[in-house]
Amino acid sequence: MDKGDRRRTPRLGSEPIPSICGSSSEPIAPPPLIRFHKPYGVLSQFTPEGRWRGLKDFIDLPGVYVAGRLDADSEGLLLLTGDGRLQARIADPRFKMEKVYWVQVEGEPDDAALAALRDGVRLNDGPTRPARARRLDAAPAIGPRDPPIRVRAAIPTTWIELAIREGRNRQVRRMTAAVGHPTLRLVRAAIGPYALDGLAPGTWRPA
C-alpha cells in the first residue's frame, strides 16, 4: 500500500455509559455481551496479580467472562459475555474473527515493511497469515498512555493499523519487530463487528 492509501483515523469520544441497574429487589441480568476499554496495566481476568490490576476494579457484573484475551501491557477493546458459545466463537482462532490493532512503532515503516506485514512474516513458531496493514495519518484519538511510553528523542515513531485473524502469543509485537520496528504502544481497536466506538479507557457498555 502506498502513502496515498490513507484513511481517516477513528476518534474515541466520551459517550455516556448506559445504566443497567434496577431496583434493589430486582435481580439484574448481565447483558449478553459487553465492550470494555481496557487500560494499560490491567489483566484480562478479574483477579489482580502482582503489580497488575484486575477487571473487578472496573466491572461489577456477575456471570460474565472474558472472550479473547489482551496482554496487561496492551490496551483497547476487551469483550466479556456469559454466553459460552459466543465466548468460544470470539476467542477461538478457528473462527478467524478479524482483530484490528492500532500500533505505535519505533521508526517509520516503509512500503516494503508494510508489504511484509501484509504478506506474512516468519516468526519462531512459523509464518504469519496474510494481514492488513497501513500507516495512519495521525495518532488515534485515545489520549496518552498512563504511564507514558518511553521514546528516544532521535528516533521518530509511527502509528500503523494492523488487522490479523490469528491469536498467537504477543503476535503483533513480534510481527512489527520482525520487520525492524518494535512496538511501543498497542491498542486493540476492534474484534470482528465490535469496535471501541467512543469508549473511554476504563469504561464499558453493552455491545
Instruction: With H, G, I as helix, E, B as strand and everything else as coil, classify residue 201.
Output: coil
The backbone torsions φ and ψ at residue 166, rounded to the nearest 5 degrees and listed phi first, read: -120, 175
What is the model's pLDDT at position 26? 55
- Say whether 71 is catalytic: yes
CA 34 to chain centre: 15
What is the model's pLDDT at position 207? 86
- CATH class, domain 96-196, is alpha beta
Nearest alpha-carbon partner for 43 in 75, 16, 80: 75
What is the model's pLDDT at position 167? 86
Spatial distance between the Cα atoms of 185 and 157, rounded to a whole number of angstroms: 10
CATH of 30-91, one of 2.60.120.650, 3.30.70.580, 3.40.50.720, 2.30.42.10: 3.30.70.580
Cα Rg of the chain (Å, integer): 18
Cell numbers given for 60: 461489577
Contact partners, residue 143, CB within 8 Å, separation at least 6 = 12, 201
- According to DSSP, the residues that pair with 20 across neighbouring strands are none
Q: What is the pTM of this model?
A: 0.84
What is the model's pLDDT at position 24? 42
Cell numbers given for 159: 502509528
Eight-state DSSP code of residue 96: -
Q: In the chain, which residues fall in CATH 3.30.70.1560?
A: 96-196
Spatial distance between the Cα atoms of 206 and 36, rounded to a whole number of angstroms: 9
- Determine contact, residues 89/79, Cβ cutoff 8 Å: no
Spatial distance between the Cα atoms of 65 and 61, rounded to a whole number of angstroms: 10
The H-assigned helical ranges of the chain are 84-91, 111-119, 171-178
Spatial distance between the Cα atoms of 179 and 199, rounded to a whole number of angstroms: 31
What is the model's pLDDT at position 28? 59
Q: How many CB atoms lie within 10 A of CB 170?
A: 14
Q: In the chain, which residues fall in CATH 3.30.70.580?
A: 30-91
> With a cut of 50, which residues of the chain have pLDDT below it?
1-25
Report the first-to-last Cα separation within the chain, whole angstroms: 32
**Identified catalytic residue from 2, 57, 60, 71:** 71
- Determine contact, residues 206/18, Cβ cutoff 8 Å: yes
